Structure 1
Amino acid sequence: MGDGDVAARGGTAPGDRGGGRMALTALRGALGFLTRIPVGRDEAAWGAFARSPWTFPVVGYPVGALVAAPLLLAAPPASVPAPTVALAFVLAVYAVTGIGHLDGVADLGDAAVVHGDREERRRVLKDSELGVGGTVALALVVFGLATAALGLVEVGAGTGDVGVPVAALGVVVAAEVGAKTATATLVCVGDAPHEGLGSALTGESSPRAALPVLALAAPAALLAWPRLLPGLAALLAALATAALVRRWVRRRLGGVSGDALGATTEIARVAALHAGVIAWTRF
């Protein structure tokens, strides 16, 4: 595989003279696509990002730190009640990442309850109306985020700390990195069933590109130090979510669409947070 092939199917080749510049451009594109931060909205940034799935987990680290910040409100001097902290956490998640991925949750939720073949489910995916399946899916995701935040506040109470211990905040970052990694993994190993956002991303990467994605995500398992299991559980739960979504969409929809990628991010985040909380409290 030549340098041009590497750039086209997983990012900039290490020996490229402009590799550093292209990497920064790809990161700008990742921030522009994966968050509401007003950078990386130009065509060059998008193109570099689409060829660089490794940027997903990298962006997960600062995004996770930002969305974890409201949990500190549980500590003095604020000492905000846990339910209010949970609401602030949910608001922070969508203030930073936007609500675009929730459209994928809604669409897959509607498709999941369809009694029909692949074509019928694909038709539902393109339907802009929100059905019962999509409504329930959205409610479960938001409820899952809120209850995970409550669990993290309880972690602090269970350890005798007032508020949320810093190590528990690492679970939030690990979960965000895990959610981004889950989506990037689907980009690398998935095939899109039709033209669209899914094909624009999956068509630019190969399974080999998943290796740097996983390598960059691995340090997140240590973010709950001195505890190891919570961060590791968060990452593994996110990857397991990606595997389950991939299996389901291949059987039911014929491949990985943009909706599947967005839904994977949201569902994997919830799964990772709860896995981290469970590992913290039970092991």
Structure 2
Amino acid sequence: MSVLGDDRIHLAWTGMETDLMFNRGIALPGFAAHPLLDTEEGRALLAAYFSEQIAVAAEHGLGVVLEAPTWVANRDRGAMIGADPQTLGRRNREAIELMARVRDAQGYAPVVLSANIGPRADAYTPTERMTADEAQAYHDEQVGWLAGTEVDIISGYTITYPEEAIGIVRAARAHGLPVVIAFTVETDGRLPVGTPLGRAIEAVDGATDCHAIHYMINCAHPDHFALVLAEAADEDWMTRLRGIVANASRCSHAELDEADELDDGDPEELAQQLTDLGRAYPRIAVLGGCCGTDMRHMRTLARELNEQF
């Protein structure tokens, strides 16, 4: 099962929050972009981001996955900034509606509308782990808010341990929605809880009858996981890894948490590294930027992909 439409590489960008905070000087309490949906100015800003992503993809003949600003729009993370479930439900739905309007106005295909779902707890230092059943019950609420929209796929991003991923996949399956899981890894290529990436993917597939359409890595620099991928090139789980949405910075998660300034890395170098990974692993279908990246990085990546694929 695939929602990507064809075999071309799709661009994905999850660096909106760091761009808003560090480059545009916009405060995002709780690292949440979804409150922008409550104002005309905020909606216009989000729409401009989506329009630019589509334009970059169209210029270079690539697909694009638009990620909703809903990564922390779940009950616990919303409560931290005073958003009740009714408000969160509305914002989740309005995020997809906004992306759909931009997609339709641009008239370019393929454009995939992704509902970005984040972890219940901190994405870098998970202090409390849920069971798979607890995770399903928790994330079912947000998936339910999204189920009646034009969303193409549920995407669990920056997931730090297998049980939460299992819960997200089961919640998506219960609502009849395709789902992708993007694990984050530390500088050693393992999940923050110490689980090897391949073992995490196998655990989720084993507990969900392989319902996830594929897996990705996000919120890590290619240097953090390139060796892991090379050493596992012939293992079965590698056929399930189809996306990389990388950080601009080589810093560890702990270092990023303490940083007062944005480390935006080298757009040219990052684009080359991601393109090299795409060539090395032909099943890769989604490439893009996470923390510290902006549209400079995405334009550079799109140009590099256009030239080399």
- Structure having the higher Rg: 1
**Which structure's residues are more often strand, by fraction?**
2
Q: TM-score, normalising length from structure 2?
A: 0.27
The higher-RCO structure (CA 8 Å, 6+ apart) is: 1
